[in-house]
């Protein structure tokens, strides 16, 4: 190894830097989701999710989540840092093209965080970072959070979780050892690793037969893009942690676990049998309880919200019942709204969910508002609030941003979304648009984005789709567009996207 290669690798801590990641949007990074969880857990958030907060994402990749959330909250200051130049250049380009001026993307390694002037933060987020960087970099992250996170602020951190990942660790080792022993750039070494996986699978490895989840992981790896694989499996570090490992490492910085940002994971009734609930209820220590809970939920990936100097819980019902939510689904979709847990498919109570979604067609509403809506007559506020949260957990509702500032958000969404639609037609994996109604990202399928772009450009959407994708488009395009007009477009218009 030459001296210059060695120092580049050392600076990266074994992280791959010669191949970019993908565009990914994560609603779990949205401060509005953090504020919902903080309030739901009986505390007053120390920041206003649609106010003058300061937000920083460590290892932001192409920065899509940070960009969308900045655009959705023009009063906030948003910063994304990452050490891969292509990530930062692309993120800056997107922000500039859309005229989003309250976001900064900074090319910076975690080692240099301490030497760069950065503000105190209300939210610091690290998505897809903790398990993939070495212990020295995790320590740098903790030091940064300790120095820069305000009291009451959120540290969001996601990571590979134990015990669920335990049987899968040796499967990654098959890929990693072949990768490590191959020569050349990352893409060539990945090919060598995948070739080894095919050989091992064809030879009927006893380990893989005994561990079907490990086989499934390798099957999925064989179908994945090199960009995903490089960042998921081929960094020198690929660690999994018990919740207690992470909670204990953050405790000296004054951090306490609040809840998962993956809302469905918090719902005991949806995830645990009554016997398990009773067993866990006996455990007084929160860290021990949350760690043991993972032996029943077995999440492979945790998305934890930690709060600095967490205050004792109080009754927040009045605030919760006044929180407004937007509907993300048509009332006629009600039968397809579901969440999957180990207990099976969980559905919201049908009649109440349908009544709520019908009322939300007029615009965002709180449980207090809904209690007075004709569709929801006779349903109590607490029940309405519970179902609103269940719908939110299942992606059919979302906290709404304040109506008073809608016009400013709409102007920015009208600039950002066409930029995102343009990426969508080039096959990039941007599958999200900004809703000025929620101030967050909403999943919009690629074909709908192509229709929206054609309408925006004043072109015939069917001809445009045909021209853009040629022989790759199947089915009756005119019928597809008619369905879009009657069914998807009104919803996108209610969300301010179209």
Ligand X SMILES: C[S@@+](CC[C@H](N)C(=O)[O-])C[C@H]1O[C@@H](n2cnc3c(N)ncnc32)[C@H](O)[C@@H]1O
Binding region for ligand X (CB under 6 A): 13, 15, 21, 24, 26, 59-61, 82-84, 87, 109-110, 127-129, 132-133, 137, 231
Q: Closest CB to ligand X among 114 and 411?
A: 114
Minimum distance, C-beta of residue 132 to ligand X, in the bound complex (Å)? 6
Minimum distance, C-beta of residue 262 to ligand X, in the bound complex (Å)? 14
Q: Closest CB to ligand X among 303 and 358?
A: 303
**Residue 404's closest CA among 1, 97, 31, 48?**
48
Minimum distance, C-beta of residue 254 to ligand X, in the bound complex (Å)? 24
Q: Closest CB to ligand X among 76 and 128?
A: 128
Q: Closest CB to ligand X among 365 and 420?
A: 420
Minimum distance, C-beta of residue 492 to ligand X, in the bound complex (Å)? 24
Minimum distance, C-beta of residue 112 to ligand X, in the bound complex (Å)? 8
Whether the bond between 32 and the residue before it is cis, its omega within 30 degrees of 0, is no
Minimum distance, C-beta of residue 175 to ligand X, in the bound complex (Å)? 16
Q: Closest CB to ligand X among 133 and 497?
A: 133
Q: Closest CB to ligand X among 54 and 235?
A: 235
Six-digit token pair at 412?
A: 């920015």
Q: Closest CB to ligand X among 81 and 367?
A: 81
Q: Closest CB to ligand X among 175 and 450?
A: 175
Q: Closest CB to ligand X among 60 and 247?
A: 60
Minimum distance, C-beta of residue 306 to ligand X, in the bound complex (Å)? 17
CA distance 282 to 285: 9
Find where tokens 């049908």 sit.
350
Minimum distance, C-beta of residue 62 to ligand X, in the bound complex (Å)? 7
CA distance 320 to 14: 45
**Residue 247's closest CA among 284, 277, 291?**
291
CA distance 144 to 113: 7
Instruction: Report the DSSP beta bridge partners of residue 344.
Output: 341
Q: Closest CB to ligand X among 185 and 380?
A: 185
End-to-end CA separation in angstroms for the chain: 54
CA distance 392 to 399: 8
Q: Closest CB to ligand X among 56 and 497?
A: 56
Minimum distance, C-beta of residue 20 to ligand X, in the bound complex (Å)? 8
Give the residue at shortest CB distance from ligand X: 59
CA distance 190 to 197: 11
Minimum distance, C-beta of residue 171 to ligand X, in the bound complex (Å)? 19
Six-digit token pair at 421?
A: 């639609």
Minimum distance, C-beta of residue 416 to ligand X, in the bound complex (Å)? 17
């Amino acid at each position: 190894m030459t001296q210059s290669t060695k120092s580049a690798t050392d600076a990266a801590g074994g992280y791959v830097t010669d191949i970019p990641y993908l565009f990914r949007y994560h609603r779990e990074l949205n401060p509005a989701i953090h504020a919902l969880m903080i309030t739901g857990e009986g505390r007053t958030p120390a920041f206003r999710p649609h106010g003058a907060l300061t937000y920083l994402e460590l290892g932001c990749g192409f920065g899509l989540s940070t960009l969308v959330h900045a655009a959705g909250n023009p009063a906030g200051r948003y910063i994304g840092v990452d050490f891969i130049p292509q990530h930062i250049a692309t993120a800056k380009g997107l922000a500039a093209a859309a005229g989003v001026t309250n976001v900064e993307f900074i090319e910076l390694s975690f080692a240099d965080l301490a030497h760069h002037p950065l503000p105190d933060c209300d939210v610091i987020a690290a998505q897809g970072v903790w398990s993939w960087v070495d212990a020295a970099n995790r320590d740098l992250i903790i030091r940064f959070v300790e120095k820069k996170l305000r009291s009451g602020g959120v540290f969001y951190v996601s990571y590979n979780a134990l015990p669920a990942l335990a049987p899968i660790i040796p499967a990654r080792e098959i890929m990693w050892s072949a990768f490590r022993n191959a020569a050349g750039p990352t893409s060539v070494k990945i090919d060598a690793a995948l070739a080894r996986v095919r050989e091992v699978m064809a030879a009927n490895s006893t380990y893989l037969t005994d561990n079907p989840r490990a086989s499934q992981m390798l099957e999925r790896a064989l179908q994945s893009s090199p960009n995903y694989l490089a960042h998921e499996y081929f960094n020198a570090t690929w660690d999994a942690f018990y919740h207690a490992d992470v909670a204990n490492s953050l405790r000296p910085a004054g951090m306490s676990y609040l809840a998962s940002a993956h809302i469905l994971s918090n719902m005991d009734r949806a995830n645990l049998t009554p016997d398990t609930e009773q067993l866990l209820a006996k455990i007084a220590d929160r860290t021990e309880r949350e760690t043991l809970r993972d032996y029943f939920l077995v999440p492979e990936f945790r998305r934890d919200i930690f709060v600095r100097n967490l205050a004792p819980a109080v009754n927040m019902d009045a605030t919760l019942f006044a929180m407004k939510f937007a509907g993300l689904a048509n009332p006629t979709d009600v039968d397809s709204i579901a969440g999957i847990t180990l207990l099976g498919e969980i559905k919201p109570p049908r009649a109440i969910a349908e009544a709520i979604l019908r009322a939300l067609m007029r615009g965002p509403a709180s449980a207090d508002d809904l209690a007075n809506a004709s569709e929801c007559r006779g349903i109590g506020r607490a029940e309405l609030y519970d179902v609103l949260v269940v719908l939110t957990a299942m992606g059919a509702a979302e906290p709404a941003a304040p109506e008073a500032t809608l016009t400013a958000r709409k102007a920015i969404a009208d600039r950002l979304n066409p930029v995102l639609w343009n990426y969508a037609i080039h096959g990039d994996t941007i599958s999200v648009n900004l809703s000025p109604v929620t101030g967050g990202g909403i999943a919009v399928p690629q074909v709908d984005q192509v229709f929206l772009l054609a309408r925006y450009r004043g072109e015939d959407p069917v001809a445009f789709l045909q021209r853009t994708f040629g022989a790759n488009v199947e089915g009756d395009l005119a019928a597809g567009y008619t369905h879009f007009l009657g069914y998807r477009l009104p919803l996108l218009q209610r969300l301010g996207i179209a």
